Amino acid sequence: MALVCKLETEVEFKSSAEKMYNLIKGRNHHIPNVSNGIHAVDVHEGDWETSGSVKLWKYTVEEKEETFKEKVEIDDENKRVTLVCLEGHCLDHYKSYKASFKVTPKGQSGVVAITLNYEKRQNDSPDANKYLQFLVNVIKDIDAYLIKDA
């Protein structure tokens, strides 16, 4: 039985779509200064803005400190950034886990579509709702920062 799951949501933001995409794509080192839930992000291979680069994130979700080592896939044409989990706490429950962010301009602002694709290890493994809500909060924090910084 396939345990492949997908969660999706959209987050409207008021800041510039270009600035939002650029921060998600290649300025991750600023995110710990912007979002209380993320403590650190470090490059392990490559750099901040090249597809195939590997980064390690340290964050707190639902009052629990976790790590997420990811390989980034960047699609500039579609303004999509996908983080493929290589190691981390989410793999305790999932065989595979990917988080995608697609930025779509809407006038002077835009929308970030967040998609989580994951495969549960067991039928009773939890859905990834806590991770989806965490990412929604991070996007809102980024937007608040970009509005204030404008």
CATH of the domain at 8: 3.30.530.20
User: What angle, rounded to 10 degrees, do the helices at 129-149 and 17-26 form?
Assistant: 120
Instruction: Provide the number of structural domains found in the chain.
Output: 1
Determine the pLDDT at residue 42: 95
Length, in residues, of the chain: 150
- pLDDT tops 80 at residue 150: no
Cα–Cα distances in Å, from 103 out to 41, 118, 121, 131? 21, 21, 30, 19
Q: Report d(CA 68, CA 133) in Å as an integer.
A: 16
Q: Which residues contact 81 (CB under 8 A, 6 or more apart)?
A: 21, 24, 25, 72, 73, 74, 75, 100, 101
Range of the domain at 57: 4-149
Q: What is the DSSP letter of 127?
A: P
Q: What is the pLDDT of residues 32-83, one digit of tens each?
A: 999 989 999 999 999 998 999 999 999 999 999 999 999 999 999 999 999 9
- Confidence band of 149 (pLDDT split at 50, 70, 90): confident
Determine the pLDDT at residue 2: 59
Determine the pLDDT at residue 108: 87
- pLDDT tops 70 at residue 1: no
Q: Report d(CA 20, CA 137) in Å as an integer.
A: 14
- pLDDT tops 70 at residue 121: yes
Determine the pLDDT at residue 65: 95
Report yes or no: 41 and 29 within 8 Å, Cβ to Cβ: yes
Q: Report d(CA 102, CA 105) in Å as an integer.
A: 10
